[in-house]
Structure 1
Amino acid sequence: MESETGGEHPPRLVVIDDEPQIRRLLQLALEGHGYPVVEAVNGRDGVLAVAQNRPDAVVLDLLLPDMSGVEVIRRIREWSEVPILVLSALGQEKEKVSALDAGADDYLTKPFGIEELLARIRVMLRRALRPAESPLFRSGALEVDLSARRLWIKGEELHLTGTEYALLRLFVRHAGKVLTHRQILQEVWGPKSVEQTHYLRVYIGRLRDKIEVEPARPLLLLTEPGVGYRLALLD
């Protein structure tokens, strides 16, 4: 079967989950859409499966019998930048944020829909295929030239303050990925400001006023409640 990405060699995924029902659901859904799946039932086997198979993406449950999902992410990130989607249960906000801070790219909260799962995986794969050094970025009505420090909405050039631009540049470099409050504050304001979330709310509002067609109904700069923000990859 041809993969949804249209390539001759469909992206291979590693699924790390100790629940047989979830693994079966994920296998049927992913392989039914052209993604070959390698399964692992615990963290140790999962890290080994990633090392041996060099997958295009990983789906990882945060609750594993032998180690935490966060530890699995840390071990994988010692040598690989493979996109990682974490699965969390309701009420696991702290674990979810810890996973993203450790290097996960996205998350889904159980129960989740198959279409949403597939959409998140497509975005992760698109991010991984983007030219790493390209200074040009486009998403929906937004165009950014990082080399020239210029941006446009619907062809009209906009001007940002230094902090607003630093914030947007961070989102562009990680477009499609969830960035936690801590990650953003540390990158833009420094490690001493990681608890100053009010800074972030103010500047996110200012940035939305400039880059969103309807700031009250953002399509580009999306809030991930209790976690952080992401810059959407739109056609």
Structure 2
Amino acid sequence: MYKVLVIEDDAMIGDMVSMYLGEEGFQVIRHENGRDGLQAAGHFNPDIILLDLMLPDMDGLELCEQVRETSKVPIMIVSMKNKVIERVNALAVGADDYMCKPFSMHEMSARVHALIRRSKLYQTNHSQVKRPSVVAVSNTAVLLAEQAYESIVSLDQETRSMWVRGELIDTTYSEFEIMKCFVKNPGRVFSREDLLQTVRGFDSFVTDRAIDVHIANLRKKIEENPKEPKRIRTVWGVGYKFVL
């Protein structure tokens, strides 16, 4: 039985979500403030967190950021705020999905199932992954930089794993898809629209600004100095390119 933590101070919405997911076989607990929700995230060990942004005692984005410091649990924001910047800010601090109130319970349930399924697949693949011992190009792996070991960036498509300088680095689904485009086409300039098409269907945050956030996150993961990127470079007025 999968466990769902709902952090929502609106009693009507909280009860509806808890009842609906409970009837679908989930074990659900709900808290009405951030402090109690944060504690529950530690001891309840949920498979997913549904988080309201406007809580009585703390900002939901702050709570999301704190959870993400110690856990990879999927986090879905549920909020009245519907501006693009709110979605982008949620993505930047580690949220995986965003639903605006009011919403369909059926769609909410479908997204919960999808996020848990993706998370479990990711965990399974990473528990099986081993450090690559060779540099090769095949249907299941794209490995680059055969020379200096410290410059190796490798992607294993079968396990959806990224290695940077020999270290296994966690990526989101969209980050991996973007990096796969770069790795397969070094030197090619991708517009934001190109990259949007790459992640569309997997990412709820499909905006130009979201692509910039994904790029910023990837730079933090692969660049020695993200403020002066040497691998993922900006092509002003066009988009981005990956340089070996």
Settle same-fold status: TM greater than 0.5: yes
Q: CA deviation at 1:88?
A: 2.0
Whichever of the two has the greater Rg, that structure is 2
> SS of 2:239's equivalent?
helix
> SS of 1:162's equivalent?
coil
User: How has the CA–CA distance of structure 1 residues 164 and 61 changed in structure 2, closer, same or farther, with 3 Å as cutoff?
Assistant: farther
Given that residues 189 and 235 in structure 2 are in contact (C-alpha distance below 8 angstroms), is that contact kept between their aligned partners in structure 1?
no
Q: CA deviation at 1:105?
A: 0.7
Match of 2:2 in 1: 11
Letter in 2 for 1:161: N
Match of 1:59 in 2: 50
Name which of 185, 194, 205 aligns with 1:161: 185
> SS of 2:70's equivalent?
coil
TM-score norm. by structure 2 comes to 0.60
C-alpha distance after superposition, 1:9-38 (max 9, x if no partner) = x10000000000010110111001111111
Letter in 2 for 1:183: V
Residues 53-62 or 88-97, more deviating? 88-97
> SS of 2:25's equivalent?
coil
Q: CA deviation at 1:91?
A: 3.4
C-alpha distance after superposition, 1:45-101 (max 9, x if no partner) = 110111110011000011111111100011111211111000122434322211111
Match of 1:112 in 2: 103
Given that residues 124 and 176 in structure 1 are in contact (C-alpha distance below 8 angstroms), is that contact kept between their aligned partners in structure 2?
no
Matches within 5 A, 1:1-235: 10-130=1-121, 131-133=124-126, 145-147=140-142, 160-162=184-186, 176-178=202-204, 180-186=210-216, 187=218, 191=227, 198-199=238-239
Aligned-partner Cα distance in 1 for 2:78–2:119: 20
TM-score norm. by structure 1 comes to 0.62
Residues 186-195 or 97-106, more deviating? 186-195
C-alpha distance after superposition, 1:135-173 (max 9, x if no partner) = 8xxxxxxxx62356698xxxxxx99412679998xx79x
> SS of 2:51's equivalent?
strand
Given that residues 185 and 191 in structure 1 are in contact (C-alpha distance below 8 angstroms), is that contact kept between their aligned partners in structure 2?
no
Given that residues 100 and 178 in structure 1 are in contact (C-alpha distance below 8 angstroms), is that contact kept between their aligned partners in structure 2?
no
Letter in 1 for 2:119: A
Q: CA RMSD in A?
A: 3.7
Letter in 1 for 2:82: G
Q: CA deviation at 1:132?
A: 3.6
Structure 1: gaps spanning 5 or more residues: 1-9, 136-143, 152-157, 204-235
Letter in 2 for 1:105: D
Match of 1:140 in 2: none
**Identity of paired residues, percent?**
29
Q: CA deviation at 1:111?
A: 1.2
Given that residues 185 and 196 in structure 1 are in contact (C-alpha distance below 8 angstroms), is that contact kept between their aligned partners in structure 2?
no
Aligned-partner Cα distance in 1 for 2:100–2:237: 23
Match of 2:134 in 1: none
User: How has the CA–CA distance of structure 1 residues 114 and 199 changed in structure 2, closer, same or farther, with 3 Å as cutoff?
Assistant: same
Letter in 2 for 1:199: G
Aligned length: 175
